[in-house]
Amino acid sequence: MNQAPIMPFFTDAYLADCHHLSTEAHGTLLLILLHMWRRGGKALPNNNKAMMHIVKAGSLRKWHLLKTELEALFDLSDRNWRQKKLERTWTDVMSKVEANRTNGKRGRAVQMLEEKSLKTQTKRLRRTPAFRPGQL
């Protein structure tokens, strides 16, 4: 299973861009976007049979009807279904994931140093004889 991070969904932008779509086209668009996200934000090949299966259209005829409604929302210039906003979002999310991973490693390194320092101090305290009243 792919370990893609959570896909941000900007509802205001989505509704502004897609208000004209039919209910069925909304579902189809979301399936395409989710499939792209799970593939690392990469474009999908402009292969009618593959796209028909991705969107669960049931027939090539049905896919062609949906395709006509959705084409304007994608860049198809290089014979792929590319969604530039999704690609930018993927890049931004992966940058944040990497920054969090790096910060987490740094935080763990600091935590380990603090634990080591605490253990060293504890050992020193154990070696130091305790002061008892009346020993002077």
Judge if pTM exceeds 0.85: no
pLDDT at res. 129? 64
Helix (H, G, I), strand (E, B) or coil at 80: strand
Cα–Cα distance, 46 to 76 (Å, whole number): 8
**Whole-number CA gyration radius for the chain:** 28
pLDDT at res. 20? 95
pLDDT in tens, the chain (136 residues): 457 789 999 999 999 999 999 999 999 999 999 999 999 999 999 999 999 999 999 999 999 999 999 999 999 999 999 999 999 999 999 999 888 888 776 666 667 677 777 777 777 667 666 666 776 5
pLDDT at res. 1? 43
pLDDT at res. 120? 74
Q: Which residues pair with 45 in a beta bridge?
A: 80
CB 90 within 8 A of CB 37: yes
Residues 6+ apart with CB under 8 A from 45: 79, 80, 81
Helix (H, G, I), strand (E, B) or coil at 75: strand
Helix (H, G, I), strand (E, B) or coil at 82: strand
The phi-psi region of residue 67 (left if phi > 0; otherwise alpha if psi is between -120 and 50; otherwise beta) is alpha
Q: Which residues pair with 88 in a beta bridge?
A: none
